[in-house]
Every structure is written in structure tokens, then in C-alpha cells.
Amino acid sequence: MIFLNEKDYQKVFKLKNISIIYEFYSNPQNEIQGIENLRNGSLYLIISALLFIVGDFIIFTVLGAIVVYIISFVFVFLAYSRLRAGFGILQSNGKNTGLGRTGATLLLVGMILDVIGAILLLVFVGIAFLAIGAIIVIIGEILVGIGLYNTGNAYNDGLLKIGGILVAIIVTAFIGYILAYVSLGGILDKLKSGSFVPSPTYSQPGTQYPGTQPTFSQPSNIYQIGTGNLKANGEAYVAIYSPTPIQIVSAEIVGTSMISSSITPNLLSPGSNNVTINFGTITGLLPNNTYTIKLTLANGQTIDTIVAYQP
């Protein structure tokens, strides 16, 4: 059985041959990018809605209104693209945002159908495109709202959950996106400062840990962030958090004879560190399986990190 400090972002327990992995979050830089995409998408939708209001009630010339509407549609397209990308990044980092990504995709499809329908409105087929597009947009909006709610749940943010609910209601979507924009900004600040402490999410892994024997780690304030990657060229990439500067002396893949030939950087700085470990030639490892890399620090302390072998 593996025991890691309660502050670790990943805890692994083996019970009755079932491995339950507690993955708190993966690469923080990826998460920051995902949150930024969601926030930008929300902002673009707010701007688009304001432009529609300007086109309807302030601009009185037909040509001026058309120009404003076109600009507004561009913002809508950018918004849905950002939302889709943001949900996708967070999903790849273990967050339950798959429905949000699907919803953003449907919104893009629905918007395209609505544009085609508007162009063909002079013939009967245009009405059909508009109707189908409207239905798809409604479904997509609901799913995006669910995605925002799940994002708020993943980051313990009540305001974002409320924003997601309002987006899913559709008629209150404008207010929902404003709340989402504000709350995502707060989450972004916490991620960048390293002050965010995530709540656990649970997943059932499809692979075991071949070649890895159970180990015991002593309590530590130094821990791995998420799950790392090990490539066929012998390079492993792991994110390590350290409260103070400390040197990594060596690294080894547990259960094998592979020892690191170089570690960059080998001196951890306070905060998050993206560490590259070179093991040289990789032999005897199974693709798409996970392995433990044990880091030995200058003070004699060891840190176990989990990596997925993806040649």
C-alpha cells in the first residue's frame, strides 16, 4: 500500500486488487490555459450580447446594424471556440468538463446552421436550418452551463456553479457568463499564485503498476503535481512543488535498473517546477502503463512521482 502526505495532490491506495487514484490536478500550466480560455470565452459572449443590444436599440441605420451584427457573430464564434478548447484542456487534466466541451461544439454547429438559415431565409429550406440550429444551440447552451457548474465544483467555487446554472437556464445566460467571468478570474489568480488547494476527484485506472513494489513515503511538503509523462527517448517530465530551494541528487524508475543520467533543473525553486529527467535508453517498459520514479533529494529525503509511459 502506498501512503503519501495528505498535502500531496495524488494519493494511491490498493484495496482488493483495485487501484483507486486520487488525482487532484495535473499540469498547472495546462489548467491555467484552460481557465483562461473559459474566461476569455465568457468575456467574448458578454461583448457579443452588448453588441447585439447596440445593434438593436442604438444604431438606427441598416448598414450600421449589419456591421455590428457581423462583429458580434465573430465574437460568438471566438467565444465558443475558446470554451471548447478550455473544457477540453480541463478534461485532459482530470476535470469533469466533457459535457461542456460537447456543448461548445454543438453551439458552434448550431451557430453555423443559423447563419446558413439566415442566408437562405428567402426560401423555405432556410427556416428548417434556423429551427434545427436553434434546437442545437439550446442543447449546447445547457451543456455548457453544466460544464461551467462542474468546473466550479472542481475548483470549490460557488459563484461559478451559480453562473453555470444561470447559463443552463438560457434566459439568464448573460448574467451567468458575467458571474463565470468574475469567478474564473479568481480561480486563475489562485492557480497562478499556487494558493489553490483542489478537492479530490476519483477515477478508476485501467492499468496497474508493473514492476513497481509498494513503498512508504515520509511526510513531506515537497510533492508531485498531477501525473508526469515518460517518453521513448528516455525523458520523463514531472511537475514538482517545493516550498524551499533544494537539490535533486538522483532519480530512478522503481522496479528497474534505470537511473537518471541528467536532471534539469536539478535545483528546485520555491513553487512549481517543471523537471525533465533523462534515463537514456528505455527498455522493458509497457506502453500506456504507469510507473514510479523515486527522486532523492540533497537532504536524503525521497519523493515518489507517478509517470505514464507514452512512447
Whether residue 107 is found in the same domain as residue 241: no
Longest dimension (CA), the chain: 77
Q: Are 279 and 250 in contact (CB under 8 A)?
A: no
Ranges 38-42, 66-70, 83-87: which has the least confidence: 66-70
Q: What is the mean pLDDT of residues 93-105?
A: 88
Query: Do 144 and 220 belong to one domain?
Result: no
Per-residue pLDDT, averaged over 8-27, amounts to: 39
Shared-domain flag, residues 44 and 172: yes
pLDDT given for residue 14 in this prediction = 37
215 and 183: one domain?
no
**Does the structure show a pLDDT above 90 at 141?**
yes
Is 7 part of a structural domain of the chain? Answer: no
Residue 216 belongs to a domain: yes
Question: At which of 131, 165, 193 does a domain end?
Answer: 193
Sign of CA dihedral 226, 230, 234, 235: negative
* Residue 239 and residue 99 share a domain: no
Does residue 10 lie within any of the structural domains? no
Does a structural domain hold residue 23? no
What average pLDDT does range 37-56 have in this prediction? Answer: 88
Residue 269's CATH number: 2.60.40
Q: What is the torsional sign of CA 19, 24, 29, 30?
A: positive
- Residue 62 placed within a domain: yes
Task: Return d(Cα 129, Cα 127) in angstroms, integer.
Answer: 5
Judge if 130 and 245 occupy the same domain: no
Q: Where does residue 79 fall: left (phi above 0), alpha (psi -120 to 50 degrees), or beta otherwise?
A: alpha
Grid cell for residue 47 = 461583448
Q: What is the predicted pLDDT for the residue at 63?
A: 75
107-125 b/e (C-beta count within 10 Å ≥ 16 → b): bbbbbebbbbbeeeeeeee
Q: What is the pLDDT at residue 11?
A: 40
Q: Which one-letter amino acid corresponds to residue 58?
A: I
What confidence score (pLDDT) does residue 125 get? 66
Same domain, 162 and 236: no
**Separation between Cα atoms, residue 119 and residue 122, nearest integer Å:** 8
133 with 226, same domain: the answer is no
Within-domain flag for 12: no
Instruction: Provide φ and ψ at 306, rounded to 5°.
Output: -105, 130
Same domain, 107 and 187: yes
pLDDT number for residue 223: 85
Asked if the structure places residue 245 within a domain, the reply is yes
* Together in a domain, 130 and 167: yes
pLDDT for residue 219 is more than 70: no
Q: Which contacts qualify for 257-264: CB closer than 8 Å, 24 or more apart?
A: 258/282, 258/283
List C-alpha distances in Å: 118 to 32, 112, 170.
Answer: 37, 10, 21
- What's the whole-number average pLDDT of the chain? 79
User: Considering 135, 161, 193, which residue would you say is the last residue of a domain?
Assistant: 193
Residue 18 contacts residue 205 (beta carbons within 8 Å): no
Q: pLDDT tens across 230-280, in order?
A: 998 999 999 898 888 999 999 999 988 899 999 999 999 988 899 999 998
- Count: domains in the chain: 2
Average pLDDT over residues 210-223: 51
Last residue of a domain, one of 164, 193, 222: 193
Tell me which residue range forms the domain holding 60: 28-193
Report residue 83's pLDDT band, with 50, 70 and 90 as the boundaries.
Answer: very high
The answer, yes or no, to whether residue 281 has pLDDT greater than 80, is yes
Asked if residue 201 belongs to a domain, the reply is no
Q: For residues 160 and 49, state if they share a domain.
A: yes
With a cut of 70, say whether residue 19 has pLDDT above it: no
State the pLDDT at residue 216.
Answer: 38
Same domain flag for 164 and 236? no
Please state the φ and ψ torsions of residue 242, each to the nearest 5 degrees.
Answer: -135, 135
Strand partners, 34: none
Q: Region 61-84: what's the mean pLDDT?
A: 84
List pLDDT tens digits, range 158-216.
999 999 999 999 899 999 999 999 999 998 888 777 655 544 444 344 444 444 444 43
Nearest to 283 by CA among 306, 311, 264, 261: 311
